[in-house]
Structure formats: structure tokens, C-alpha cells
Chains A and B, each alone.
Chain A
Amino acid sequence: MDLIGAAAAWFMDPAHWNGANGVPYRLAQHVGISLVSIAIALAIALPVGLYIGHTRRGQALAINLANVGRAIPSLAAIAIVVPFTQMIDPGKGFNLYPTIIAMVVLAVPPILVNTYAGIAEVDRDLVESARGMGMTERQVLRSVEVPIALPVIVGGLRSATVQVIATATLGAIYGLGALGGFIVEGVAQRDDGRLFAGVFLVAALALLAEGGLALVQRRLSGPVSAAAAAAAAQAS
């Protein structure tokens, strides 16, 4: 099994670096789709998670919804919206929109749950003393709860991002291209070089995101949350 050799030879061919089916274009496509999906998921999950964590209202509902979202197979999530989005736009509605919708469904649960859990796990004494100092609820959330919960929130963002990068390959079944395109074409054409080049690129991108966000998370769990905790403790 000379898969590495086949993939290396595939990468060496300049033809594979040009045009809409080339590595740079599809890599950019993959990153773009992932970023858009994550941005939409953040816009939904962050406010809801902050609200639930701060007020402790609707916890059970949020958790159960997150578990339902977690259980939905991504390929099924793509397939189930295809007929509907296709009515709106026969081109992008066949692959781009369904993939993004499925990626949002995939990314919301980890971000939502980590945001909620991170905020809810902040020491109640700190929150009470912040209130005692005359902070408004908004200030409590912004200057006490969020800074302390930030590493946990970023942890949710991290697992969501890695999952989205890996799973966005499924869009290629519907002709989306991106990095999954190499895998689907490699399978269809029995071209091992192309197939494993695709696998390698997806895995590398996922690991890069994982490493990068892990680094951010570690930075945040150091000084920022410690300082916030110390400030709040001092205030009390």
C-alpha cells in the first residue's frame, strides 16, 4: 500500500494546484464554508448560552435540544434540507446552503452547552459579591462571568470548529467541491493519490484548528480568568 507515495506524487503535479479544482481554491472554499458556518453558529449559540447561564432559566430545554442536535447524523441533515433549499436556488441550494445549514446544526450544541456550563459554573459567591458592589446584571456578565468562563467557551468553539472542518467534506457528495471533493472524486475514479491527498488536507486543517484554538484556550485560562477571579475576590 503505497498511499503516501501516491499522495505525494499527486501533490507534486502542478496541474493539481490550478483552477477551481486545484488545492488552493478548494482549501479556501473549505476554510470559507467552515468560517461562515461557525460564525452563524456563534451568533445563535453565544447569546442563548450566556442568557441561560446567567439567568439559569431553560437549562433542561437547552441541554435536551443540544443532545437532539448532537444525535442528528450530518449527512441526513444535509439531505433533509436539499429539496427545500433547491426550490430557492437550484445551484447553491443543492450543495452550498444545505452544507452550511448542517454544519450550523453540528456546531451549535458544543458552543451552546459550553457557554451555558462555563457561565453557570462560575463561583456564585463571586457573582453575589459583584452584585453587592452595585454592578448591573450586564456588568456582572461582562466583567465577571464571561472572563472566568472564557476558556470553557473557547473549548466549545474548538470542538465545534474541528467537527465542522472534518464534516464539511460531506458536501462533496452533492458536488460542493471543497476538500471533500478530492475524496469523493478519488473514490469514484479509483485514484488513490487524489483520495489520500484529500484525507491528508482535511486532517491537517482539522489538526491545525485544534492546535491553534487549544493554544488560545491555554492562554486564556492563564492570566485573564485568574486576574478576573482575583479582582472579584479582592472586591469581596
Chain B
Amino acid sequence: MIDWGWIADHVPAILGRAVQHLEFAAIALVVGFAISFGLALLSVRYRPAYPVVAGLAGILFTIPSLALYSSFVPVIGLSLLTVEIPLVLYTLVIYVRNIVAGFDSVPAEVLEAADGMGYTRMQRLRAVELPLAVPLMVAGLRVASVSTIGLVTISGILGSSFGGFGFFIFERPNFATEILVGAVGSIALALLADALFGVLQRRLTPWSRLNVELEMAKTGRSAAQATAAV
């Protein structure tokens, strides 16, 4: 059933798509984090902004990606931006929630102690709040990376210059070998990212091994992430 000859002949193309998949995902994960970090800081400093930011990001998340990818085409044409804008938009809700939760997880006594020691706000942010918020930020990075890798697959709908492994899923719907290569590749990348950031997360919070896994499983694709898989 599997045409091994096709796979052997297409090794460079498969590797090229793997690189494209990771590239698309990495750009969105970095840009999305930078934007979210700003939005999260704003939400922490000025609390009333948080429901607005989280609400808007949540609504963006409910737009099916099949539709969001295609709706930018008439406006900006087909370029790297056509993929990256939707991908970045989808990361926002995951990142913002986790970064804000990270800052919220810093105990009030710790903040008071820092204030008492004469830290300025900037110093307190850099030396106290940021390090303590890192574990939850990494949790967010883990969820966002898995979600983004899945969404890159769907960008294959935009045509043959997109999709990463998704290209193989969309190219010829009746050729099993190619579809399997695309599906297995996407799944492997997602699992790899999940495992990689999972290890990082456990390193950062060695005291709560199983709890971290449980929280991930519980919040991973919960309400906020509802529609992003589309």
C-alpha cells in the first residue's frame, strides 16, 4: 500500500517541507510571544484591560483557520505574511493567558519583600517576577507550539508554496503514500515539540512533575483553544 519508491525519490522534498513547517511555526511562535508579552504586561499593570485583551484574543481563536487563511488572500496576496498573520493571531490567546497566569502566580509576600528591599518596579519585574513566571510561560509555549504546528498543516489550503507537511496532505487526496507522509510528518513534529518543551518545563519545575502534566492535559486544549484546531 505504501509506495516506498516515491518516498525514496522525494527525500529532499520531504526534508524541505519539514524545514518549511518548522520555519513557519517558529516565526509565529517568536512574533506571537513578543506581542503577547506586551499585551500581558499591559493586562497585569492595568487590570481592566485583561478581560478585553483575553476576550478579543479568544474571539480570534474561534474563527476557523480554513477561513482565516483564505480571508487574507484578497487583501495582501500570497506571501509569508498570509500564513504568519493567522498563525500569530492564534497564538495570542494561549500566550497571554499563560503569561498573565505566570505573573499572577508570584505570591504577594514575595512582591512585598522585593518592594521592602527597595527594588524599583523595573528591577522587581526583571529579578523577581520574570524568573518566577517562567514555568507557566514555558507551559504556554508548549501548548502554543503544538497548536501552531497543527495549524501550519492546514495552511496547505493556500497552495503549493505553503503547508509544510500539510502540502503532502493537500496535493493528491487519492495517493495514500503522500498523504501518510504528510500526516506522519505533522504528527511527529507536534509530538517532538510537545516532548521537547515538556522536558524543559519539568526541568524548570522539578517539584511538580505529575501536576504539570495534569495541568497540561487539563488546560491544553480547553475552552480558549476551542476552535484553533480548525
Taking beta carbons and an 8 Å cutoff, which residues of A are in contact with B?
59-60, 63-64, 66-68, 70-77, 79-80, 82-83, 86-87, 106, 109-110, 113-114, 117, 158-159, 162-163, 166-167, 169-170, 172-174, 180, 183-184, 186-187, 195-196, 198-199, 202-203, 206-207, 210
B94: interface (CB < 8 Å): no
Contact B179 A79 (CB under 8 A): yes
B34: interface (CB < 8 Å): no
8 example contacts (A-B, Cβ-Cβ < 8 A) are as follows: A67-B198, A68-B194, A73-B150, A73-B190, A109-B220, A169-B230, A202-B227, A206-B62
Q: Number of contacting residues on B, CB 8 A?
A: 48
Taking beta carbons and an 8 Å cutoff, which residues of B are in contact with A?
1, 62-64, 66-67, 70-71, 146, 149-151, 153-154, 157, 165-166, 169-170, 173, 176, 179-180, 182-184, 186-187, 190-191, 193-194, 198, 210, 213-214, 216-218, 220-223, 225-227, 229-230
Question: Closest residue to A167 on the B side, CB-wise?
Answer: B229
Contact B63 A199 (CB under 8 A): yes
Contact B187 A76 (CB under 8 A): yes
- Once A73-B229, A109-B221, A158-B223 are accepted as A-B contacts, the answer to whether A60 and B210 lie under 8 Å apart by CB is yes
- When chains A and B are docked, how far (Å) is the Cα of A183 from the Cα of B157? 12
B63, B187, B194, B230: the one contacting A167 at CB < 8 Å is: B230
B70, B214, B218: the one contacting A187 at CB < 8 Å is: B70
**Overall SS of chain A's interface:** helix
Extra contacts, 13 of them, besides A80-B179, A196-B67, A210-B223 (Cβ < 8 A), are A60-B210, A73-B229, A75-B153, A83-B179, A113-B218, A162-B226, A166-B230, A167-B227, A173-B157, A173-B170, A183-B66, A206-B62, A207-B62
- When chains A and B are docked, how far (Å) is the Cα of A198 from the Cα of B218? 30
- When chains A and B are docked, how far (Å) is the Cα of A68 from the Cα of B170? 24
Contact A82 B226 (CB under 8 A): no
- When chains A and B are docked, how far (Å) is the Cα of A172 from the Cα of B78? 23
Question: Closest residue to A112 on the B side, CB-wise?
Answer: B217
Chain B residues whose C-beta falls within 8 Å of the C-beta of A187 in the assembled complex: 66-67, 70, 157
Chain B residues whose C-beta falls within 8 Å of the C-beta of A173 in the assembled complex: 66, 157, 170
Contact A202 B169 (CB under 8 A): no
Question: Closest residue to A168 on the B side, CB-wise?
Answer: B230
B194, B226, B230: the one contacting A170 at CB < 8 Å is: B230
Closest-CB distance, B21 to chain A (whole angstroms) = 11
Contact B157 A162 (CB under 8 A): no
B153, B173, B176, B179: the one contacting A73 at CB < 8 Å is: B153
Question: Closest residue to B145 on the A side, CB-wise?
Answer: A71
Chain A residues whose C-beta falls within 8 Å of the C-beta of B165 in the assembled complex: 76
Contact A110 B230 (CB under 8 A): no
Contact A206 B154 (CB under 8 A): no
Chain A residues whose C-beta falls within 8 Å of the C-beta of B221 in the assembled complex: 70, 106, 109-110, 159, 163
Question: Closest residue to B224 on the A side, CB-wise?
Answer: A159
Closest-CB distance, B226 to chain A (whole angstroms) = 4
Contact A75 B186 (CB under 8 A): yes
